[in-house]
Amino acid sequence: METTSDKEIAGRRISELRGDLHAHNHLYYNKNQPVISDKAFDLLLKELEALELAYPEFNDPLSPTMRPGGIAQDGFDKAKHSTPMLSLSNTYDAHEVEEWMSRVDKGLEGEDVVYVMELKYDGVAISLVYEKGRLMKAITRGDGETGEDITANVKTIRTIPLLMQQPAPENLEIRGEIFYPFEDFKALNELREEEGEAQFANPRNTAAGSLKLLDSKEVAKRKLDCMMYGVISKGVSDTHSEAVSSAGDWGFKVPSEKLKMISTSTDSKGVMAFISYWDIARHELPFAIDGVVIKVDRYDQQEILGLTSKSPRWAISFKFETERVRTQLKKITFQVGRTGAVTPVANLEPVLLGGTTVKRASLHNADQIERLGLRSNDYVFVEKGGEIIPKVVGVDESARAVAVDLFTQSESVFPTHCLECGTALIREEGEVVHYCPNAASCPPQVKGRIKHFISRKAMNIDGLGSETVTQLVEAGLVIDPGSLYTLTSEDLLPLDRMAEKSVQKLLLGIEASKHIPFERVLFGLGIRYVGETVAKKLARSLESLDAIMNTNREDLIEVDEIGERIADSILAFFAEESNKSFIHRLKDAGLQFAVQEVEGATDKLAGAAVVVSGVFEKHDRTGIKKLIEQHGGKVSSSISKKTSYIVAGEKMGPSKREKAEKLGVPIISEEEFLDKISG
Ligand code: IVH
């Protein structure tokens, strides 16, 4: 029989592990100063998972094991705010900030005033309610009085503590801004592109959309972040700046003083200096801001100043002008992607914007063109705001000549037929994107699929670049990935820039790709919504292409990560005759169509994210990467704070070294790496 003391010991260990993991999480995500390795963290997490499984009586929805999200919800409950979530009065004019400061002075009858300056984060406001140090509720702004309870989703954000670090006040309400960092936003779009999905336009809207997803597991995959900007509870400190600094100790992400993201001043000179500094420096930040916020630091003075009907008198925001330029629209072209999605692109008279020359801007889709009322030769306004890609935000109608207007009216309308192959475009109900359905022979789709097939993460064929693919397709030598494997040197030699040596390299590269593991072949096929991760899951659970092709819808949905939409896309792909035909030829060519047990595979590097850089003695770079994967590690291409270590050979670039040192990522030699995986 189990004794009480066993249970007691387990209970104690569980709470100890939870406390430690919460603290490590804070050190890693908010302080950027991990004190244990990722592997050690994973071991603690695994120990906790095992104990929680064995002793479900200690279950806690705020355990560090609960970050990956729970079961999907039907909708969100309404929740009332303890105190209204107000907005700020805005200005674009520095003089008005000085006028506001004079009003503050007057309101406080000449008392000394300290102003605190912060960034105005461009995201989604959130209110976080803690009881006994535990996150109880996360509520959106809503109408300011009542918002939606999105706690399940917010719990997945690692920079928000589930349990505050001690010593913290028992009950507390924190307000902050949830946003999508640029780098993660870019990665999300890259992943979507890989999966053949439409791109998201900007980080703010994507953050807002992510928070409204009903399945918190999906939210956990979005790398949202949160910066706190307010402590609502009274009595924790006398000033806002102290409260922010304490919040940093309690486990929240707070603006860095060192990076001048928060500062104080007693006069307008200091305030103006902060504004001018960030007007330039904002371009270097890893996330979007749209201005700075200036607040009266002392709470008692804030109280004296009070509120107007919708915003406090003790704060003002100075908004930066989004950089906007005027230029001429030369023409609208329509790009057809590998999945047939048609994206309109504005081709512009080149113009300088935010330090770079802009020649093209995204128009997203037909609705957007319609909203703008765009016509050829229009003068347009282009902005680069929170977005990474510049966009056309308006038309200078005053510059539009009537004659031009009439003459070009029909030109700007979205085409009814694919400009590449003439097939009638389709737009499915409820979708904003037009598609060219001629997957089999629309040239950009054919080229796109082959480029995807040979790409680094798929077949990684050496000696075959994007330009060569274009040449091969245009010469009629390649119509699908299958035809790559029947190419001969006689086919290739007559092509431009193809000498004996490059032909040999290309043919060897194609030959070598026959050893690429099945999961990457599967990813390379370019099935819509089947990105790298889904391909891995599919390959590992069904083990061969035959099995995948013979599995019905219900059984496909049973596979982890695969829902109805992906299952339908897989079924549609294999139902298509032209796909069956090239897959057949790939099989004949001898590609890997089933998983193979790798000899000598271990999980010694499980959980490790490793960057490989430089030239090595015993192995080539690909060999080192293979070893990492063979031992359960993950190869990543760029250094971030999530990198476990870098295996560095000779000639590792100085910028990489610098970045690694800055982030405190360990650098190990080939020798040390081989030691890790041997024995
Ligand atoms: S203070 C009553 N500080 O801007 C004032 N707000 O227009 C409470 N925001 O809804 C807000 N950065 O979502 C404050 N450093 C900052 C902020 C900030 C962004 C957002 C916030 C608020 C909106 C106000």
For residues 198 and 380, the answer to whether their CB atoms sit within 8 Å is no
The pLDDT value given to residue 412: 47
The CATH number of residue 179's host domain is 3.30.470.30
Phi, psi of 296 (to 5 degrees): -75, 130
- The residue written with tokens 């371009």 in the block is 283
Give the number of other CB atoms < 10 A from CB of residue 324.
15
Do the domain assignments include residue 558? yes
Ligand 1 centroid–CA 61 distance in Å is 29
Do the domain assignments include residue 660? yes
Do the domain assignments include residue 56? yes
Q: Whose CA is closest to atom 18 on ligand 1?
A: 120
| Same-domain pairing of 180 and 162 | yes
| Same-domain pairing of 628 and 613 | yes
Q: Whose CA is closest to atom 12 on ligand 1?
A: 120
For residues 148 and 79, the answer to whether their CB atoms sit within 8 Å is yes
For a ligand 1 pocket test, name from 86, 88, 319 the mutation site with the most ligand atoms within 8 angstroms of its C-beta: 88
Ligand 1 centroid–CA 66 distance in Å is 29
The pLDDT value given to residue 3: 62
- Residues whose beta carbon lies within 6 Å of some atom of ligand 1: 86-88, 118, 120-121, 125, 141, 177, 229-230, 293, 312, 315
Do the domain assignments include residue 308? yes
Alpha-carbon distances, residue 459 vs 192, 510, 512 (angstroms)? 19, 9, 9
Name 137's Cβ contacts closer than 8 Å, sequence gap at least 6: 79, 127, 128, 129, 149, 151
Do the domain assignments include residue 380? yes
CA distance 639 to 673: 17
Q: What is the largest distance, in Å, between two alpha-carbon atoms of the chain? A: 93
Ligand 1 centroid–CA 298 distance in Å is 17
Say which DSSP state 3 is in.
Answer: -
| Same-domain pairing of 61 and 196 | no
The CATH number of residue 508's host domain is 1.10.150.20
CA distance 306 to 191: 47
| Same-domain pairing of 547 and 618 | no
Alpha-carbon distances, residue 59 vs 2, 48, 49, 598 (angstroms)? 19, 11, 10, 39
For a ligand 1 pocket test, name from 86, 128, 140, 177 the mutation site with the most ligand atoms within 8 angstroms of its C-beta: 177
Q: Whose CA is closest to atom 23 on ligand 1?
A: 87
Do the domain assignments include residue 636? yes
- The residue written with tokens 């922010």 in the block is 244
| Same-domain pairing of 265 and 134 | yes
| Same-domain pairing of 458 and 575 | no
| Same-domain pairing of 286 and 300 | yes
If you compute the radius of gyration of the chain from its CA atoms, what whole number of angstroms results?
29
For residues 91 and 317, the answer to whether their CB atoms sit within 8 Å is yes
Q: Whose CA is closest to atom 14 on ligand 1?
A: 229
Q: Whose CA is closest to atom 2 on ligand 1?
A: 86
For a ligand 1 pocket test, name from 127, 263, 278, 293 the mutation site with the most ligand atoms within 8 angstroms of its C-beta: 293
| Same-domain pairing of 230 and 185 | yes
Do the domain assignments include residue 434? no
The pLDDT value given to residue 385: 61
Atom of ligand 1 nearest to the CA of 317: 7
Q: Sheet harboring 634-635: ordered strands across?
A: 634-635, 609-613, 645-648, 667-668
Atom of ligand 1 nearest to the CA of 255: 15
The pLDDT value given to residue 386: 55
The domain in which residue 539 lies consists of: 518-589
The pLDDT value given to residue 403: 45
Encoded tokens for 487: 């190419």
Q: Whose CA is closest to atom 22 on ligand 1?
A: 87
The answer to whether 120 is a known catalytic residue is yes
Ligand 1 centroid–CA 123 distance in Å is 10
Atom of ligand 1 nearest to the CA of 88: 7
| Same-domain pairing of 110 and 148 | yes
Do the domain assignments include residue 200? yes
CA distance 92 to 106: 22
- Residue that finishes a domain, picked among 283, 317, 351: 317
Sign of CA dihedral 131, 136, 142, 146: negative
The letter for the amino acid at 89 is S
| Same-domain pairing of 32 and 94 | no
CA distance 229 to 243: 9
Show the 3-state SS of 600-665.
CCCCCCCCCEEEEECECCCCCHHHHHHHHHHCCCEECCCCCCCCCEEEECECCCHHHHHHHHHHCC
Q: How many domains does the chain have?
A: 6
The pLDDT value given to residue 406: 42
Label residues 425-461 b or e (16+ Cβ within 10 Å = b): beeeeeeebbbbebbbebebbbbbbbbbbbbeebbbb
The CATH number of residue 651's host domain is 3.40.50.10190
**Which is catalytic among the residues 39, 80, 106, 120?**
120
| Same-domain pairing of 161 and 41 | no
For a ligand 1 pocket test, name from 83, 120, 287, 309 the mutation site with the most ligand atoms within 8 angstroms of its C-beta: 120
Ligand 1 centroid–CA 427 distance in Å is 40
Ligand 1 centroid–CA 90 distance in Å is 11
Say which DSSP state 359 is in.
Answer: E
- Residue that finishes a domain, picked among 317, 338, 361: 317
- Residue that finishes a domain, picked among 497, 515, 533: 515
| Same-domain pairing of 218 and 301 | yes
Atom of ligand 1 nearest to the CA of 312: 2
Atom of ligand 1 nearest to the CA of 118: 15
The pLDDT value given to residue 456: 86
CA distance 566 to 529: 6
Ligand 1 centroid–CA 291 distance in Å is 10
Low-confidence ranges of the chain (pLDDT < 50): 403, 405-407, 409-410, 412
Q: Using N-to-C axis directions, what is the helix angle for 466-474 and 443-454, rounded to 10°?
A: 140
Encoded tokens for 646: 């870098």
Ligand 1 centroid–CA 105 distance in Å is 22
The pLDDT value given to residue 431: 81
